[in-house]
Structure 1
Amino acid sequence: MGCYVSIEGLKEKLYRAVIEGDPERALSYAQELLTSGLDVRQIVSEVLAPAMRAAGEMYEKGEYFIADLIASAEAFKQVFDNILKPTLASSAVSKGVVAVFGTVRGDIHELGKNIAKALFEAEGFEVIDLGVDVPPEKFAEVIESREVKVVGLSALMTTTMIEQEKVIEELKRRGLREKVIIIAGGAPVTEEWVKKIGADVCGDDAFRALKKVKELLGVT
């Protein structure tokens, strides 16, 4: 006779599998959660994103090596790309809204960007991921070529935060600034910095940023 595992139990197992960087276990538990009826957005917001945030904090405290953090990120990516993304509800409230995310020039950190990307995709946004070390011109070129509504600028280091301002300046120069909602994200970003550079949303917390963007877009 099989052993019944509650949804809360499965969530905890998935959480641990991601933190421990075990894609095989993570994929299995994620599939079980979907089969149990848990919504994709709940899996992302209640399990995957908190797990990655915890792994990031462990790395910052010196409890994890970079290899551990990479393993956790890979488990996160495997679950989202192979299990969750294909099953995203077609009725998602933000379906069809295009967002562009990228880590600014000079910065190669993408953990925060990837968490935000997953949260936005789970809400139905079409996310164009430009990767890391992205120059201002690249952001502008994509906005010019697509009907982009949201731009996410990620910077993990205080030395690269200035690049967020340079992206905004480039968008102003090309007459694109007023066409998009701009999120300035990253651990060192504050509300004061967001106001100073003329961004719209503080992305120090991806959950709050998503909520604010949806409010600005007029969707719930």
Structure 2
Amino acid sequence: MNNLEELKEQIIKNVEQLNEEVVIELAKKALEVGIEPLSLLEIINEGMNKVGILYEKKDYYIADLIMAGIIFKEVLALDKMTMHFQNEYSKKVGKVVLGTVQGDIHDIGKDIFKGMLETNGFKVIDLGVDVSKESFTKVIIENTPDIVALSGVLTYTIEPMKEIVDNLVEAGIRDQVKVIIGANHITKDTCKYIGADGFANDASAGTKICLEWMNEQGVVDDEKSSIR
């Protein structure tokens, strides 16, 4: 195994184990030896996915998810990461209105998705958590985004998601935006029931979908995308 591959595996392992200080030092080393910021982001995300699996198995708790989110944000805040993304994406590729739907106050998955969207050149309007259909619709009308992203960790958020999409139909603006929904419990059938255009069970997959939608409009440069 070469040194870069070993470094990658060490980063993934330490993200999974929530070793905050070790991850930051390894991330700095990765950038110093030439790993691109976008590639580093994907490596961190692999570790985040492993944390999510441990949470689903009930080996990790909500506090562990919060710590994983903190680690992700700290890597994004490294000087070489912020410098790269500020220079690389001075022109935004698209606008996303994002929020956790009414009845749910979980924001970790939403925040990770927001970070990945922003590092891929999107402008993100984050409405926070427990957001009503009326608030979503109002902000969408005022800001004319390309994409609306609905997050919800709890299974009963399916209905609030559907109500938001239905409200966009009633307001006559549904055909003006793409709607993506994100949560571990979402399936193809659930997505169809809600009336969304797409769904994702993790931030990386969701970002890829958003980039593909913008690419269809001729906006995204595939060479600059962090998602392959």
Q: Would you call these one fold, judging by a TM-score over 0.5?
A: yes
Report the equivalent of 1:207: 204
Return 5+ residue gaps in structure 2 as ranges.
223-228
* Counterparts of residues 113-124 of structure 1 (less than 5 Å): 113-124=110-121
Q: 1:136-168: per-residue Cα shift (whole Å, max 9, x none)?
A: 122222222224111110112221111111111
User: Once the 2 structures are TM-superposed, how far is the Cα of residue 123 of structure 1 from its aligned partner?
Assistant: 1.4
Equivalent position to 1:131, from 128, 131, 136: 128
Report the equivalent of 1:22: 19
Q: 1:159-214: per-residue Cα shift (whole Å, max 9, x none)?
A: 11111111112222223222211101111111112122221111224333333332
User: Once the 2 structures are TM-superposed, how far is the Cα of residue 63 of structure 1 from its aligned partner?
Assistant: 1.6
Report the equivalent of 1:77: 73
Contact residue 98 and residue 124 of structure 2 kept, 8 A: yes
Contact residue 41 and residue 119 of structure 1 kept, 8 A: no
Report the equivalent of 2:101: 104
Q: Give the stretch that moved more between structures: 64-73 or 91-100.
A: 91-100
User: Is structure 2 residue 161 aligned with structure 1 residue 154?
Assistant: no
Equivalent position to 1:43, from 40, 44, 57: 40
Report the equivalent of 2:178: 181
Report the equivalent of 1:143: 140
Contact residue 101 and residue 151 of structure 2 kept, 8 A: yes
The TM-score with structure 2 as length reference comes to 0.83
User: Once the 2 structures are TM-superposed, how far is the Cα of residue 130 of structure 1 from its aligned partner?
Assistant: 2.0
Q: Give the stretch that moved more between structures: 123-132 or 200-209.
A: 200-209
Distance 2:137 2:82 in 1: 27
Equivalent position to 2:165, from 163, 168, 193: 168
Report the equivalent of 2:63: 67
Contact residue 99 and residue 148 of structure 1 kept, 8 A: yes
Distance 2:196 2:153 in 1: 16
User: Once the 2 structures are TM-superposed, how far is the Cα of residue 99 of structure 1 from its aligned partner?
Assistant: 1.1
Contact residue 186 and residue 203 of structure 1 kept, 8 A: yes
User: Once the 2 structures are TM-superposed, how far is the Cα of residue 26 of structure 1 from its aligned partner?
Assistant: 2.1
Q: CA RMSD in A?
A: 2.3
Distance 2:206 2:64 in 1: 27
